[in-house]
Amino acid sequence: MQKIQMKTPLVEMDGDEMTRVLWQMIKDTLLTPYVDLKTEYYDLGLPHRDETGDQVTIDAANAIKKYGVGVKCATITPNSQRMDEYKLHSMWKSPNATIRAILDGTVFRAPIMVKGIEPYIRGWKAPITIARHAYGDIYKATEMKVAGPGKAELVFTAEDGQEQRALIHNFLGAGILQGMHNTKASIESFANACFTFALDTKQDLWFSTKDTISKTYDHSFKDIFAELYESKYRQAFEEAGISYFYTLIDDAVARVIRSEGGYIWACKNYDGDVMSDMVATVFGSLSMMTSVLVSPEGNYEYEAAHGTVTRHFYRYLKGETTSTNPVATIFAWTGALNKRGQLDDLPELCEFAQRLERVTLATIESGIMTGDLASQFQGEAKKVNTQDFLNAIAQGLC
Ligand code: NAP
Ligand code: MG
């Protein structure tokens, strides 16, 4: 059989622990037998990040900027326990945070739906994709406790020395304070990424904030989205038959629960943090959730939403076979291959990626799956280990 050819390399970012094991298994079983895989390989495994002083992460992010599409394995974000475990020179930052800072992107997370694993909310028929703004607000806030009576003010000093002041509160006793910010540039790039992704995936876009209460802060988000929609995207949305819809966050929550799904829900940073966990839980689990970072320049980085599945890895090291779910990592690869195919005009590559997704889902629907899904499956489930699950998919591909 002639293997499918590629034109431009994918930026391949290897990772850690159990997902590093899955990575190789997926390539060997489902990709290289069918595709003449062209990648530029970056080893983001923690030992190599440490050896390179984390330069490899920066190089990988720049490679995504150069080629346009990357696929990333889950990686360890070091903490003090990992410092000892890996004898690290430094507590390196989260690779995802480093890559996001370089690409300046928005993360879109969507559940992978399969028949037999029904969402807890029965009305949800299609995936809800959460687009989370990944900069600022309470995640970059300054906080303070005050011990007793006094006046708190918000002060901005412009470069020319001009001051802007506003009273926050006249404290009569002890209390707490928080100052947070966002930037016009970051909100605009968030909005552009959301509109672009909606057009790309032909889904409606919802956006929600609390602009009735936060008349300047949240209202600016609302205004920036509205201005960009009118000036840049309305026509393309109408041509694509999709819509942009703004509503208050509390109204959005009620509508989301009553909806059938099948749209993108753009959320401010905190709302996205909370709502993405809710959506993931309703649809099943993190092992059935894809994640793609889209930069305002149109670069794409695909990954699984879960971590490196450490507990399974320790069992693997002891020689046990594990039933770790590879679906989200398979979908990271198919997402990246499909996008590469679109950009390079390689319909065969797109068709392969889409077929691999269909066959993966059909394998689960036929009753063959990993342990995490078997316990939720409505129907007769045969729990298999990861390699046997991949082999079953490979059989379906033939
Ligand atoms: P995790 O790796 O997602 O695993 C948490 C638990 O969820 C697992 O122990 C397992 O439960 C279940 N699980 C997750 N993915 C699964 C899969 N594919 N198949 C079957 N079960 C799955 O999260 P964590 O344990 O909090 O983090 C481990 C490491 O991952 C940390 O070092 C963290 O820094 C890193 N991390 C990386 C990323 C990323 O690169 N994007 C994201 C999150 C975390 P059972 O053990 O009960 O089976
Ligand atoms: Mg969270």
Query: Which domain-ending residue is among 253, 283, 313?
Result: 283
Clarify whether residues 122 and 245 are in a common domain: yes
* In the predicted structure, residue 139 carries a pLDDT above the cut 90: no
Exposed / middle / buried, residue 322 (Cβ in 10 Å: 0-12, 13-18, 19+): buried
**Ligand 1 near 98 CB (within 6 A):** no
CA distance 365 to 382: 11
Two tokens, residue 15:
């990772």
Please indicate, yes or no, whether residues 59 and 110 belong to a single structural domain of this protein: yes
Provide, rounded to the nearest whole percent, the portion of the chain with pLDDT above 70. 100
**Residues 310 and 371 grouped into a single domain:** yes
Regarding whether 126 and 264 lie in a shared domain, the answer is: yes
Q: Return residues with CB closer than 5 A to ligand 2 (ion).
A: 273
Query: Residue 230, SS3?
Result: helix
pLDDT at 233 (0 to 100): 98
Q: 170 and 162 in contact (C-beta within 8 Å)?
A: no
CB 358 less than 6 A from any atom of ligand 1: no
Q: How far is CA 170 from the centre of its chain?
A: 42
Determine which residue's CA is closest to atom 26 belonging to ligand 1: 307
Query: Residue 372: CB within 6 Å of ligand 1?
Result: yes
- Asked if residue 13 has its Cβ within 6 Å of ligand 1, the reply is no
Position 180 pLDDT exceeds 80: yes
277 pLDDT tier (thresholds 50, 70, 90)? confident
Q: Using the mean position of ligand 2's atoms as its centre, give its distance from the Cα of residue 307 in Å.
A: 13
Shared domain check, 227 and 372 = no
Q: What is the pLDDT of residues 240-252, one digit of tens each?
A: 999 999 999 999 9
- Domain CATH number, residue 98: 3.40.718.10
Ligand 1 pocket mutation pick from 309, 314, 331, 377 by most atoms within 8 angstroms of CB? 309
For the Cβ of 26 lying below 6 angstroms from any atom of ligand 1, the answer is no
> Are 147 and 43 found together in one domain?
no
Are 271 and 299 found together in one domain? Answer: no
Q: Is 307 in the pocket of ligand 1 (CB under 6 A)?
A: yes
Q: Whose CA is nearest to atom 16 of ligand 1?
A: 287
Ligand 1 close to Cβ of residue 96 (< 6 A): yes
Q: Which of 179, 200, 231 is the last residue of a domain?
A: 179
Residue 168 token pair = 């926050």
Rounded mean pLDDT of 354-375? 96
Residue with more model confidence, 276 or 39: 39
Distance of alpha carbon 170 from alpha carbon 158, whole angstroms: 25
Mean pLDDT value of segment 68-84: 96
Question: Structure tokens of 361?
Answer: 């889902």
Chain segment 161-172, per-residue pLDDT in tens: 999 999 999 999
Q: Are residues 271 and 314 in the same domain?
A: no
* Sign of torsion over alpha carbons 150, 151, 155, 161: negative
Residues 239 and 124 in one domain: yes
Average pLDDT of 177-190? 95
The predicted structure's pLDDT at residue 352 = 98
Number of independent structural domains in the chain: 3
Query: pLDDT grade, residue 127 (50/70/90)?
Result: very high
Ligand positioned closest to the Cα atom of 97: 1
- CA dist., res. 173 & res. 139, Å (int): 27
DSSP per-residue codes, 122-188: TT--S-EEEEE--SSGGGG-EEEEE-SSEEEEEEEE-TTS-EEEEEEEEESS-EEEEE----HHHHH
Q: Sorting pLDDT into bands at 50, 70 and 90, what band is 16? A: very high
Q: Ligand 1: does its nearest atom lie under 6 Å from the Cβ of 75?
A: yes
* Coil vs helix vs strand at 111: strand
- Res 348 pLDDT > 90: yes
| Tokens matching residue 326 | 């590879």
- Provide the domain limits for residue 159: 142-179
Distance 303 CA to ligand 1 centre (A): 13
What pTM was computed for the model?
Answer: 0.89
Write the pLDDT tens digit of every residue in 93-120.
999 989 988 888 799 999 999 999 989 9
Mean pLDDT computed over every residue of the chain? 95
Structural domain ending residue among the three candidates 150, 179, 208: 179
Q: Are residues 374 and 352 in the same domain?
A: yes
272 CA distance to ligand 2 middle (Å): 8
Percent of the chain with pLDDT over 90: 88
Residue 81 has pLDDT above 80, yes or no: yes
Residues 297, 302, 307: CA angle, nearest 5 degrees: 135
Instruction: Find out whether 12 and 40 touch, Cβ atoms under 8 Å.
Output: yes
pLDDT at 219 over 90: yes
Q: Between the CA of residue 12 and those of 9, 43, 182, 363, what are the distances in Å? A: 9, 8, 32, 26
pLDDT digits (tens, 9 = 90+) for 282-303: 987 788 999 999 988 889 999 9
Does 301 sit in the ligand 1 pocket, CB within 6 Å? no
Residue 162: the pLDDT is 97
CB-CB neighbours of 217 under 10 Å: 16
Q: Residues 173, 33: one domain? A: no
CA-to-CA distance for 190 and 111, rounded, in angstroms?
Answer: 21
52 and 167 housed in the same domain = no
Q: Is 388 exposed, middle or buried (0-12, 13-18, 19+ CB in 10 A)?
A: middle
